[in-house]
Amino acid sequence: MSGRPRSWLLRVALVAAALLRPEQHARPLAARPVPRPRSQAPGSLKCFLGALKMEMTEVTGVSLKRGSHAVEDNDCVAPSEEAKRQKVLDGGLTTGQDGLEHVSPPSSVDVPGPPAAVSAGEGRKNSDVQVEEEEEEEEDGLSEEGEEEEEAESFADMMKHGLTELDVGITKFVSSHQGFSGILKERYSDFVVHEIGKDGRISHLDDLSVPVDEEDPSEDVFTVLTAEEKQRLEELQLFKNKETSVAIEVIEDTKEKRTVIHQAIKSLFPGLETKTEDREGKKYIVAYHAAGKKALANPRKHSWPKSRGSYCHFVLYKENKDTMDAINVLSKYLRVKPNIFSYMGTKDKRAITVQEIAVLKITAQRLAHLNKCLMNFKLGNFSYQKNPLKLGELQGNHFTVVLRNITGTDDQVQQAMNSLKEIGFINYYGMQRFGTTAVPTYQVGRAILQNSWTEVMDLILKPRSGAEKGYLVKCREEWAKTKDPAAALRKLPVKRCVEGQLLRGLSKYGMKNIVSAFGIIPRNNRLMYIHSYQSYVWNNMVSKRIEEYGLKPVPGDLVLKGATATYIDEEDVNNYSIHDVVMPLPGFDVIYPKHKISEAYREMLTADNLDIDNMRHKIRDYSLSGAYRKIIIRPQNVSWEVVAYDDPKIPLFNTDVDNLEGKPPPVFASEGKYRALKMDFSLPPSTYATMAIREVLKMDTSIKNQTQLNTTWLR
| Helix ranges, 20-60 (H) | 45-55
**Contact (Cβ atoms closer than 8 angstroms) between residue 193 and residue 353:** yes
Bridge partners for 316 per DSSP: 355, 379
CA separation for the pair 251, 253 (Å, rounded)? 6
Taking the C-alpha atoms of residue 674 and residue 671, their distance in angstroms, rounded to an integer, is 8
Residue (of 641, 521, 713, 687) closest to 99 by Cα position: 687
Q: How far apart are CA 660 and CA 599, in angstroms?
A: 56
Q: Which residues of 613-643 are buried (b: 16+ CB within 10 A; e: fewer)?
A: eebebeeeebbbebbbbbbbbbbeebebebb
User: Amino acid letter at 545?
Assistant: R
Residues sharing a CB contact under 8 Å with residue 515, sequence separation 6 or more, in sequence order? 453, 619
**CA-based nearest residue to 167, from 425, 440, 531, 445:** 440
Distances (CA, A) of 501 to 308, 426, 461, 468, 520: 41, 36, 11, 18, 6
Task: Please say whether the beta carbons of 704 and 159 come within 8 A.
Answer: yes
Helix-, strand-, coil-residue percentages of the chain, each rounded to 5 = 35, 15, 50
Instruction: Kindly give the interhelix angle for 523-549 and 596-607, rounded to the nearest 10 degrees.
Output: 140
Amino acid letter, residue 633: I
CA distance 502 to 524: 14
Burial state string for 549-573 with b = 16 or more CB within 10 A and e = fewer than 16: bebebbebbbbeeeeebeebeeeee
Burial 704-714 (b: 16+ CB within 10 A, else e): bbbbbbbbebb
| Region for 344 from its dihedrals, namely left if φ exceeds 0, alpha if ψ lies in -120 to 50, beta otherwise | alpha
Of these residues, 90, 348, 656, 700, which one is catalytic? 348
Gap between the terminal Cα atoms of the chain: 32
Q: Which residues contact 652 (CB under 8 A, 6 or more apart)?
A: 190, 402, 404, 643, 645, 666, 668, 676, 678
**Residue 471 to residue 475: CA distance in whole angstroms:** 6
- The DSSP H or E segment spanning 274 is strand 272-279
Amino acid at 18: A
Assign 639 to helix, strand or coil: strand
Active site residue 348: yes
Is the CA virtual torsion 517, 521, 524, 525 positive or negative? negative
User: How far, in Å, CA of 206 to CA of 266, rounded?
Assistant: 30
* Pairing outcome for strands 396-404 and 674-683: antiparallel
- What does each C-alpha distance from 33 to 54, 126, 274, 491 come to in angstroms? 11, 26, 34, 17
Residues serving a catalytic function are: 348
